[in-house]
Structure 1
Amino acid sequence: MGDPQYPLLSKDGDIIIGALFPVHSIEILPSFEFTQKPQLLTCSSVYLRDFRLAQIMIFAIEEINRSESLLPNVSIGYRIYDTCGSRLSTMSATMGLMNGQEFVPGHRCNGQSPLHAIIGESESSATVILSRTTGPFKIPVISHSATCECLSNRKYYPSLFRTMASDYHQSRALAYIVKNLGWYWLGAVNSDNEYGNYGMAIFLKIAQKEGICVEYSKVVDTIKKSTAKVIVAFVSLPEMGLLVDQLSIQNITGLQMIGVKSWITVKSLITPNSFHVLGGSLGFAVRKIDIAGFAGYVIKEFWKTAFPCTQTKGNYSQYALSCSRYEELLLLKNYNEDVPEQRYASYVYKAVYAVAHSLHSLLKCKEQEGCEKGLTIQPQQLVEALKIVNFTIKTGDHVWFDSTGGAVAQYEVVNWQQDSDGSIKFISVGYYDASLPPDQRFVLNTENIIWAGGQVEKPRSVCSESCPPGTRKAAQNGRPVCCYDCIPCAEGEISNETDSNNCMRCPMEYWSNAEKNECVSKTVEFLSFTEVLVGLTAIVAILFYSKKDTPIVKANNSELSFLLLFSLTLCFLCSLTFIGRPTEWSCMLRHTAFGITFVLCISCVLGKTIVVLMAFKATVPGSNVMKWFGPSQQRLSVLAFTLIQVLICVLWLIISPPFPHKNMKYLKENIILECSLGSTIGFWAVLGYIGLLAVLCFILAFLARTLPDNFNEAKFITFSMLIFCTVWITFIPAYISSPGKFTVAVEIFAILASSFSLLFCIFAPKCYVILFNPEQNTKQNMMGKTTSKSC
């Protein structure tokens, strides 16, 4: 066994509290040649912060020893070991604390720990070593700054307590500050130890829930190439110093650093070049609490009463102490300018008082009677007492431990700012207090912040710019959700918010505007213009009426001619029913009027065709055929053919009549207001009946086309029926394939074209004779054997 490690500072008492602090930061290893017993480790380079923690512990103990209300008549001693920031020294110091200096080879251990509690360690990794070593002996450990969330596991660390909150809360607070400032694209770096790895893992998990994306979690080369302008640095102090050095060497500046309590208020990071990297940094620091009397104590009382090399008598000589090991500490004898900035001192102060209050209850202390010193305090008893301890220190802070052995999270948000004289100050710009209601926990005064690079405007850090209204976000393959493309909404869809994930489809009667950010009413379309030939028909009728006694008008039944002109007038007029906004009445009227008037028209033409045929047959000697198709029979045939169509239309209107319909399918951006046919069978029955009569008329006229008689209209009728049938045959595919108002236009065109063909081909030759060749409008000429001119 090697020589036991001696404490840096110590004092005897009825109760002993141990402590581990990295008072020095550099460890000097002895030679390991294995030819002689290894020498003790030596340390150098004072770490001022933890030296102050050792001082505040002694200050608190002496304050308690003077108290008449807390542990009256009981003295507290201490054993403070220097771990030199080394895991090797931490283990060696822990064994020294547990064994004591009285333990020598050959002596049996009495099983009783020489101390009641241990304050320490400063770092999470060292606290893990300490807690796992002391855990089997149930010696309570109270850490003042080890904040790894891993230490909250009571299964593995049942005897560990912390006067500072777990990093779980700091990680949540980091996510809050990043989200609050609108930074959803950032880099992240962390120390490769318990503190950095666990803290960063919690932050990344919470950040992901909040929609924050991390571009990288590695270091300098990646930082240099990245697009993120904000870096969350969950890094312990030594690693942060190295990172700042590297960033300075590679001249990587202008990045907004978000820091943690381990480095955000450490002045040793301030160098001539570091402010270019860390200037404007934001981060969470532990609250600064001033302990009354401590500043004066570190200048006078400590060096007189607690420091070994200034004592004229005492027990330090039994450890063969060499004052050379304190040479660096003695240089700090008259220095206390850093004391007001000490943020961890109050947490050591709370830890000492937590032990004292727990012992006070276990020793059944009473203010006037004192404490029962004869009671043996087992470590487990002190552990249980610490679980329920509840008190308030003189600063007004309330101290208690939650179920994980941690304290309530209370942080101060600080900002690195440069004063007019060039000095660096840590300015408080907000706070995070987990003891408050959720909506009051986090406060940040952004108007007081100086950002990275000395800017007064908050830096932007995004992977992709915001998608404006009218677009939606589309994730980029293989990249975080904060990296996306802005895709315009499809026709008929809108997004009226920035960074919309989806586009919303407009209701049926609405359509998206050009910017795709608003639904507007669709344009309602219907046919609103036409061109009719009623006037021309009327002129022909007037002309025929004025020449009703002439042979050319009398020929071939003038009554049918006037009826045909009347039906053609109705055909032209019925096209008007297809014009304008469709209504229930106009939809029923347009198709039935069309069907009936056209049958009336074709019936007249059919009658005229039969008259031509009968007239030719009547010229045969002995023929009596005209008596079977005289004027009365002609009128009855027209009426019968028309009544059949009327019956079809009535059945159509009764069973399933046409009705107004909004067509929203064909043109998505417009509403086509049209007449639905109701029963398609009814529509095609009406149309089919007209076609049947037209085909019959065409066949009969075609048979009579060569009859050599000037009264013969068959050629004109044949040509008119040819045009008529051609129009309606082409109408069918055009009607089916045309949408909305174009369907109506096709139907009107067919009506006008077919009506005009009848008017022109049947009546134009006669009008020509009446107007331009009146000499031919005689009975002798009509009875001649000349050939009729075709249309």
Structure 2
Amino acid sequence: MKPYFGFYIFAAVLTARFVRVAGVPNATAPGDIIIGGLFPIHESVNVTLENDGSDKRICNRFSRARLVQSLILVEAVEEVNKRQELGNLTLGYHIVDSCSDVTTALINSRSFMSRNSTWTDGAEQPSPHALAVIGGYHSEISIAVTRLLNLEYIPQISYGSTSGLLSDKNRFPSFLRTVPEDDHQVRAIIDILKKHQWTWVGVVTTDGDYGRYAVERLQHHAKGKNICFAFIHIFPDVLNDNTLMEEITDTAKSIVKNKDVQVIVSFAKPYHMMYLFDRLLKDPEGRGRVWVASDNWSESAFVLKNWTLNDVGTVFGTTLKSGNTTRLKQYLRNLDANPDSHKNNSFLYNFLKRRQQQHVKRLKSNHKATKELERMIYPYAVFSIELAVRAIAQAVADLCVNRDCKTRQRLQPLELREALKRTTFQMDGKKYSFDENLDLNSGYDVTLWNQSSPTDVNVHYIVAHYSIENQTLTFTSEKTFQDVISVTGDVTSRCSNSCSPGFRRHSAPGQPVCCYTCRACPDNHYSNTSDSSECHRCNTTTQYSLPGSNECHLKKIVYLKWGNVYQITLLAFTALGALLTIVVGIIFLARWKTPVVRSSVGSICILLLFSLLSTFVSVILLGGKPNKLQCRTRQVLFGLSFTLSVSCILVKSFKIILAFEFDPGVQRVLKKLYQPYIIIAACMSGQVLICALWLTLKAPATKWDDEQNKHERLLYCHEKSFPAFGAMLSYIGVLAVICFGVAFKGRNLPQSYNDAKFITFGMLIYLICWIIFGPVYANVRGQYLPAVEMVVILISAYGILFCQFFTKCYIILFKQEANTESAFRQDVRNYSLGSIPDLENSTSSLRPEEIQNPAFSMETPMSNLQSIQPLTEQRPSVSSDVSSCSLSPVSNPQLMRMQNNHINKRPLRRYLSLQN
């Protein structure tokens, strides 16, 4: 961008006498309010040096489309006058040619500033010739001209200058426009590229304020959309620049070389694009690209020259808001084709004159010329120029509603400029006004060029609209969307292949973000879109993903399920144990009065069976999906039920202590303290206290374990307080150790009464299992951890069930001859007096008269035994009889030994005499 815009004004004033435009054409019409018009009716200018040292400027490359744009101004002014919208005021116009050149535009704009100004030393009339100017089209021309016009506060309304620089009202206070600034157009172009995923594109532009500003905004917005530019080529703005063709050649070579670049954005001017296409399309490798045209040339079909659209490829155009062309078409159709009818408009006069001469030679009608103009209508220009005329007319109407603007109180440019800032005007039933930057944000249309005939290209086929307010691009219909897809569906313009979902882009240092490699997302990360710049992390608490995943998967919830083969096996053993417990209870109840049941302390056995049944029930709670109630119940139920089991066994073991106590005083005290149910209640109260404190202070609860397996999520019961859990098990262990120690001492009782051996073995099984359980439970993790505890509980319960009851059930069911009173008497007799062979050997040496003491009868101890209850509630008479024996130890030594042996059997009698 050239910063010294003031230089243009200075140069125009300084060289006014040394520069002259050959045959300066214009178009004029009288009126009370003169509107100036500045149009690029010619696309370039040739400068030659005259003999007097002045520059002679000759405009060339006549543009029919720009001529039509000047006629839009003429038609709009005539329409206002015809409708008498300003009352007795009329509008006039004064149109000059900018020739698409800044210097020429400045020189020709002098005529707007003072009436009949000659820029000589003579006096100048103070009243400006034009109160407002419509134009120019190119931004660099408007930037220079508005500075010149601002010297006399003349407002300038542009219909095509979109550079964002002109929005600065501190620098350009007199500039207004009926089009949005280029930043919005660039956003629309970015939207087009993004919708088609074209991220590797080329850019061509001209070296002017418009082109450089547009490229700068394009680069700015592209960063946020991951769009990169393979190349940016800038053409000289002036067409007669000596380096223009060289730069166009280099650009064509660059396009051919970058085969991955299939989309090119162009902010260049129409003739620049015509030269570029003419050079590029000669090489077959340069054809078939997608071109995104700015409003500079988006409706200039002549850029194709002798080429067809099939050679060029696809052209998208961003155009300014389109207007209704019906009235203008009718105006052109009614236009007099006779050049002499338009001598006030030298542009139209010259055009019709040339066409007339050509038609005379070809013997054709001159009416073809107006048809030709009709084909050159740009809908955006119709909208923008008519809107500018409507704004001026409304501002004039607002100012002159209560004043005589025709004769005495004539309008001044400053008044009109300020009125334009405030005015609200209408066109086609819609209201418009300028924003704070004096811009009119009407939006953009997106067009798609199509070959309407072998020789004609339709450049006005609108496929989408871009809304500035919403910053969205929307297609006009489903048909237009399908038309776009049909021509662009296979076009790819990327530096690198697209990364599939599950991968992310990785750019090497120093490389554009569009040039990258695809890397798979790591564990527990995913990307669910193509070309993702990053991988998103899964919620590792509940989700996981494998490398290269495009989504997160829910972790499988694992626990010891009912359908698990291990769970089924353990439940089968649990059910079997519970069934056996019930069966044993039924057998005991059915044989309640038999010696086996009575000698086993029947009521305590029923309580023991109930506790075993509860223990088996607690095993069931260890399986299945854990919940809060289950976690709190399962360990407590096991602790209390097994404590009850061990307490019952402990009561039976205490009878052995009393059987071995020889001191009569201690014996009497222990017999008073032996209260079975009180002992059981005392033992249970300790465990109840431990469990109550556990549940109150730190109760077990469900917990998730996400660390064992990244694909699974373990749901388990967390004990929370392992000291409380350990205290519960240790309490049972202490009771079990006491049982084991006490029962071990009583292992030599008579076979019919001897539970001590089985208690010892049952408690030994329990202690071994739970000693092993401790370290295993502390180190094992996973869904099978509850199974470990289930196995230990089952072994412990089965150990007690087998050791305490199965031998007795076997006797009850299959050895009924041993479950009689006589069998129990014989067992006690054998234990009390020793085996039969020993007794015979002891008595054979005695003389008959020595053994006639009737008190030493072998039947005496059991003479009153009628049932098991007397055995256990009455003291046998053996001790009393023996104690009353009058044999002398000297005269009867053998008898004395028998007496001593009999005395050693007192513990059995004490055992039998204890209460149940």
- TM-score between both structures, scaled by the size of structure 1: 0.70
Which residue is 1:305 aligned to? 343
2:140 equivalent to 1:122: no
Q: Which residue of 1 aligns with 2:239?
A: none
CA distance, structure 2, for counterparts of residue 352 and residue 22 of structure 1? 18
- Matching of residues 92-111 of structure 1 within 5 Å: 92-95=107-110, 98=113, 103=118, 106-107=121-122
Change (3 A) 1:23 1:456: closer
Paired position in structure 1 for 2:618 = 577
Which of 708, 719, 728 is matched with 2:770 structurally? 728
Q: Is the CA contact (8 Å cut-off) linking 2:619 and 2:793 kept in structure 1?
A: no
Identity %: 19
1:50-98: CA deviation from partner (whole Å, max 9, x where unpaired): 23334555666678888977686979463623x3323343344445765
Measured after TM superposition, the shift of residue 145 of structure 1 is 1.7
Among 368, 376, 385, the alignment partner of 1:341 is 376
Alignment map for 1:503-582 (pairs within 5 Å): 529-531=571-573, 532-533=576-577, 558-559=599-600, 567=608, 570-571=611-612, 574-580=615-621
Counterpart amino acid of residue 571 in structure 1: L
Aligned to 2:457: 424
CA distance in structure 2 between the aligned counterparts of 1:119 and 1:440, rounded to whole angstroms: 30
| 2:480 alignment partner in structure 1 | 448
2:105 aligns to what SS in structure 1? helix
Q: For 2:551 and 2:433, locate their aligned partners in 1 and report how far apart those are by CA, in whole Å.
A: 58
Q: CA deviation at 1:118?
A: 3.3
1:241-288 alpha-carbon deviations (Å, 9 max, x no partner): 566567744736666554433222211123425544443635335425
Deviation at 1:305, TM superposition (A): 1.6
- What residue number does 1:39 align with? 55
1:302-324 deviation line (CA, Å, top 9, x unaligned) = 6752466999xxxxxxxxxxx99
Q: How far apart, CA to CA, are the structure 2 residues paired with 1:331 and 1:653?
A: 115
List aligned pairs for 1:60-139, cutoff 5 A. 76=92, 78=94, 80-81=96-97, 83-95=98-110, 98=113, 103=118, 106-107=121-122, 113-139=128-154
Query: Aligned AA for 1:5?
Result: R
CA distance in 1, matches of 2:684, 2:141: 104
Q: Is the 8 A contact 1:661 1:673 kept in 2?
A: no
- 1:730 is matched by which residue type in structure 2? I
Aligned to 2:645: 597
Which residue in 2 is equivalent to 1:264? 298
Change (3 A) 1:306 1:397: farther
Shift of 1:724: 2.9
Q: Deviations over 1:658-685 (max 9, x none)?
A: 99976241369668575x7798776544
State the shift of 1:174 in Å.
5.2
CA distance in 1, matches of 2:115, 2:488: 57
Q: Secondary structure in 2 aligned to 1:85?
A: coil
Residue 760 and residue 606 in structure 1: after superposition, are their counterparts in 2 closer, same or farther (change >3 A)?
farther
**Which segment is superposed worse, 105-114 or 690-699?**
105-114
Cα displacement (A) at 1:385? 4.8
Q: Which has the larger displacement, 456-465 or 576-585?
A: 456-465
| Residue correspondences, number | 740
Confirm or deny: 8 A CA contact 1:163 1:347 kept in the other structure: yes
Structure 1 residues 744 and 522 mapped into 2: Cα distance closer, same or farther (>3 Å)?
A: closer
**1:123 CA displacement:** 0.6
Structure 2 equivalent of residue 52 of structure 1: 68
Q: Give the 5 Å matches for 1:215-294.
A: 215-216=228-229, 218-219=231-232, 233-238=266-271, 240-241=273-274, 248=281, 249=283, 251=285, 257-271=291-305, 272=307, 274-279=309-314, 281=316, 283-288=318-323, 289=325, 290-291=327-328, 292-294=330-332
Question: 1:10 aligned to 2:26?
Answer: yes
- Once the two structures are superposed, what CA deviation does each residue of 1:519-574 show, in whole Å capped at 9, x if it has no partner? 7996775666141446778789989x99x999xx89xx954799679847843662
Name the SS of the counterpart of 2:172 in structure 1.
coil
Distance in 1 (alpha carbons) for counterparts of 2:295 and 2:179? 11
More helix by share: 2
Q: Which moved more, 1:759-768 or 1:744-753?
A: 759-768
Deviations 1:118-151 (A, max 9, x none): 3321111111111122223312323222122332
Please state whether the residue corresponding to 2:157 is helix, strand or coil. Answer: strand
Residue 517 (structure 1) shift: 7.5
Q: Which residue of 2 aligns with 1:26?
A: 44
Partner of 2:173: 158
CA 1:606–1:539: 2 relative to 1, 3 Å: same
Equivalent residues in 2 for 1:390-539, closer than 5 Å: 401=434, 403-407=436-440, 409=442, 411-419=444-452, 421=454, 423-429=456-462, 432=465, 444-449=476-481, 451=483, 455=487, 479=513, 529-531=571-573, 532-533=576-577
Offset, 1:216 = 3.4
User: Is the contact between residue 186 and residue 228 of structure 1 (CA under 8 Å) also seen in structure 2?
Assistant: yes
Q: What's the CA shift string for 1:325-367, capped at 9, x where partnerless?
A: x98998798634242331225644665676577668878899x
Residue type of the alignment partner of 2:318: G
Contact 1:387–1:401 under 8 Å retained in 2? yes
Which one of the candidate residues 740, 749, 770 is aligned to 2:791?
A: 749
Distance 1:349 1:299, change over 3 A: farther
User: Structure 1 stretch 252-261 or stretch 118-127: which is displaced more?
Assistant: 252-261
Q: Does 1:145 align with 2:163?
A: no
Partner residue, 2:864: none
Name the SS of the counterpart of 1:663 in structure 2.
strand
Between 1:146-155 and 1:164-173, the stretch displaced more is 164-173
What CA distance in whole angstroms lies between the structure 1 residues aligned with 2:809 and 2:76? 130
3-state DSSP class of the match of 1:103?
Answer: coil
Deviation at 1:575, TM superposition (A): 1.7
Q: After alignment, is 743-752 or 187-196 more displaced?
A: 187-196
**Helix, strand or coil for the counterpart of 1:455?**
helix
Provide the rounded CA distance (Å) in 2 between the counterparts of 1:360 and 1:187: 49
CA shift for structure 1 position 697: 4.6
* Distance in 2, Cα, partners of 1:541 & 1:390: 104
Which of 183, 187, 209 is matched with 1:194 structurally? 209
CA RMSD of aligned residues (A): 6.2
Describe the shift of the 1:595–1:258 C-alpha distance in structure 2 as closer, same or farther (beyond 3 A).
farther
Q: How much does 1:404 deviate?
A: 3.8
Find the residue that maps to 1:122 and give its secondary structure: coil
Higher-RCO chain (CA-CA 8 Å, sequence separation at least 6): 1
The alpha-carbon distance between structure 1 residues 644 and 71, as it changes in their structure 2 partners (threshold 3 A), is: closer
- Shift in CA distance, 756/562, structure 1 to aligned 2, threshold 3 Å: farther
Q: Which 5+ residue runs of structure 1 have no aligned equivalent?
A: 312-322, 787-791
Bigger Cα displacement from structure 2, 777-786 vs 91-100 = 777-786
Superposed CA offset, 1:704-761 (max 9, x none): 99x9999999887666554432211222233445569755433332233234456667
Secondary structure of 1:284's counterpart equals strand
Q: 1:665 aligns with which of 677, 699, 704?
A: 704
- Tell me, yes or no, if the aligned pair for 1:169 and 1:409 is still in contact at 8 Å: no
Report Cα offsets for 1:395-448 as digits up to 9, x if no partner: 88878655544446165443212236464223534564979x979996612313
Q: Which runs of 5+ in 2 are unaligned?
A: 1-14, 233-250, 360-365, 839-916
Name the TM-score, length of structure 2 as normaliser: 0.62
Q: Distance in 2 between matches of 1:135 and 1:694?
A: 110
DSSP-derived class of the 1:127 partner: helix
* Separation of aligned partners in 1, 2:177 and 2:587: 115
Distance 1:433 1:279, change over 3 A: closer
Local SS of the residue matching 1:30: strand
Q: Is the 8 A contact 1:64 1:71 kept in 2?
A: no
